Chains A and B, each alone.
Chain A
Amino acid sequence: MITRDKKGNPILEAEARIPYELALGPTVHRFFEGFKQRKILGTRCHACGRVLVPARSFCPRCFVDMNEWVEVSQEGRVLSWAVTNYEYFGMPTKPPFIQSLILLGGTDCGFMHLIGGVDLSDVDRVGRIVKTGMTVRAVWRESRTGCIMDIQHFAPVD
C-alpha cells in the first residue's frame, strides 16, 4: 500500500515472510539431546587439546575432526556481560536482561548465554551485583525440548 513517510514522501510499505527448514546435523543434535538430560557437552580437539562448547564436528583453529565428546561443568566464570535495556526483534525475553560469555569449567572458549536470578529493577545498579570473573551456574527449565533455551539462564553462585 502506498503511504507517506514522516516527511510526506510516498513510500511502499512491504513485508515478507520467508520460511526455511534448517538442518541441525548430528553434532548440534547430540549437543541439544544432552540438554534434555541436563548435560552440557563439548568436544575435545586431539590436535590443540582444547574443549569447545557448544560441541563441534571440527576444530575451527586446527581444522581437524573433533569426535571426542566430554561433559563439561555447569559452572563457569563470566568473561563479559552486557545489560540490554531496549526492545528489539529477536530478543530472548523482555528487557532488561543480561547477555554474557561464560568460561565453563573444563572448556577453553566462551559460552554465550543469559545471566539471570539477579535483581534488575534498577539497571544502573546491576554492576554492583554482576562482575566479570564471578561464578555462575546453569539453571535448567523443568520442561526441556532440546534447544539452547532449555537452560533458562546462568545464575550467580553464592
Chain B
Amino acid sequence: MMRRVAIVEVALSPAGESADNYLDQVYRVCREVLDKAGITREDVGTVVSASSDVFHGGVSCANAYYWDSGAAFLKNGTRQDGESLLAFSYAVMRILTGHYDTALVLGLCKGSENPDNDMITHFFTDPFYQRPLGLNETVAAGLQMRAYLEHSGTTEEQCARVVVKNLGNALRNPNAHRKGRLDVDTVLRSPKVMDPLKELECAPKSEGFVALLLASEDKAKKLTKRPVWFRGFGSSMDFFYLGDRDMGSGVLAQAAKRAYDMAGIRDPVKEIHVAEVTEPYAFQELLWYEGLGFCGPGEGGKFLDTGATAPEGSLPVNPSGGVLAANPYVSRGLCRLAEVTLQIRGQAGERQVDREVETGLAHGTHGFAGQFHAVAVVGA
C-alpha cells in the first residue's frame, strides 16, 4: 500500500434518548472530534457521512439537511446509505488517492424519534412477494435463528448467554442505552415475540451520532500520538430473497476473508485482540463468530462458553455491550469502529478490556438476516 491512513480521533454520542434535535447532535460530535484533534473546520479535506433518507428521521435528501452541521459546508464530500462502515472505506480511499490529508467520517441516527425498526425494515422487502407476507427484520431473524439452531446444535441457553454478556458489559459503558445484570433464565422467560426469538434477545432502537477523523500517515503523526491504522476492509452481499440463501451460515466468511487478506491476518483468533460486532439479535453474535473465523462452523455457542469473548477473555467481543445495548440502526457499524479505536488507544474507560489490544475488528451488517456484511480491521 502506497500510503497509510489512520483514525486520529473519535467522538460518540450517548445512545439513550436526547431532547436535542438531529442537527444539534450532528454538530456536537463533529465539533468534539475537531476540538480533540486541535484542527478547524477549514482543515477538513473531505467528508463522508452515513445516514438514511426518509425512513430514519423522516427527511429526504438527508445530507442536504445536515451537511453544514457536519462541518461540510462547501466541502467535496459524499454520503453513504446502507451499512455505515462503507463510509469509512470510502473515506480511506479518498485519502489514499492523495487528494486529501484528512477526512471526517460521520454516522448519524436518532432512533428515538423513528418508528420501530420492524416498521422501517418492512420496506426492505420487495412489494409483491415478501411484503404482503409481513416480512421484516425480526421475522427474518426468527427464521434464521431456528435454521441456525437446528443446523448447528447451538442451544437457546447459549443464545441467551450473549444477552447476559453484552448487557452486563454495557454496565461499564456510560453511552449504552440498555444494560443490566441478567441471568439466562430471565432472558429465556422474556416474551417470545418471534419464537424462537425472545424479547430480550432483540436490540432496541437507539441514538448514535459518531464522528471519526481520518488522516494520511504524515498528517496523523502530527495530530496524535496514538494513531489507529487502517489495515483491511471487506464486504459481501448475499442474495435478496431469504429462500435463495443458506440461512444457517451466510456470507460473512467472504467479507472477513477479504478484510483479513488485505490486513495480512492469517489466524484471526490469535491476531485479533478485540472485536465489536453488530448483533441486533443475540444468536447472530454466535453465528458471526463462525463467519469471522473465531471458531469452526456450528461452534459459536461453544466458543462463547469458553469465556474467550468475555471482557477478560483472550478475544473480547462487544465489550461496549454491542448492538443489544445500543442499536442506532444507521450508524451502528461506525459506532463499532469507534469503540474498537478507543480499545486500541486504551481510552475505553471502565469498559477497557483486560488484555493488551494492538489489533481490533469492527463488523457491520445491514439487510435481513445478515444479507450484507462489512468487516474493518484496524491496529496500533
Q: Spell out A's residues near B (CB within 8 Å).
A: 5, 7, 9, 11, 14, 16, 22, 24, 28, 32, 52-54, 60-61, 79-86, 88-93, 99-101, 109-114, 123-124, 126-127, 132, 147-149
Chain A neighbourhood of B138, CB < 8 A: 88
Chain A neighbourhood of B143, CB < 8 A: 80-82, 99-101
Given the interface contacts A80-B144, A92-B132, A112-B242, does A11 sit within 8 Å of B113 by beta carbon? yes
**Which of B122, B129, B244, B245 lies in contact with A90, CB distance below 8 A?**
B122
Measured between C-beta atoms, what is the minimum distance from B120 to chain A in Å?
A: 9
Q: Is B133 an interface residue (CB 8 A)?
A: yes
> Does A112 lie within 8 Å of B144, measured CB to CB?
no
Given the interface contacts A81-B143, A82-B142, A84-B142, does A147 sit within 8 Å of B195 by beta carbon? no
Chain B neighbourhood of A7, CB < 8 A: 17, 19
Q: Spell out B's residues near A (CB within 8 Å).
A: 17, 19, 58, 113, 115-116, 118-119, 122, 127-136, 138-139, 142-147, 150, 191-197, 239-245, 247
Measured between C-beta atoms, what is the minimum distance from A39 to chain B in Å?
A: 16
> Does A89 lie within 8 Å of B146, measured CB to CB?
no
Chain B neighbourhood of A60, CB < 8 A: 239-240, 244
- Report the Cα distance A89→B119, complex, angstroms: 6
Given the interface contacts A82-B146, A82-B194, A149-B132, does A89 sit within 8 Å of B244 by beta carbon? no
- Report the Cα distance A79→B143, complex, angstroms: 9
> Does A148 lie within 8 Å of B142, measured CB to CB?
no
In the complex, the chain B residue whose C-beta lies closest to that of A59 is B244
Chain B neighbourhood of A80, CB < 8 A: 143-144, 146-147, 150, 247
In the complex, the chain B residue whose C-beta lies closest to that of A110 is B243
Given the interface contacts A80-B247, A85-B195, A88-B116, does A113 sit within 8 Å of B242 by beta carbon? no
- Report the Cα distance A14→B116, complex, angstroms: 15
> Does A111 lie within 8 Å of B243, measured CB to CB?
yes
> Does B128 lie within 8 Å of A148, measured CB to CB?
yes
**Which of B58, B147, B194, B241 lies in contact with A109, CB distance below 8 A?**
B241
> Does A82 lie within 8 Å of B196, measured CB to CB?
yes
**Which of A9, A14, A83, A112 lies in contact with B133, CB distance below 8 A?**
A112
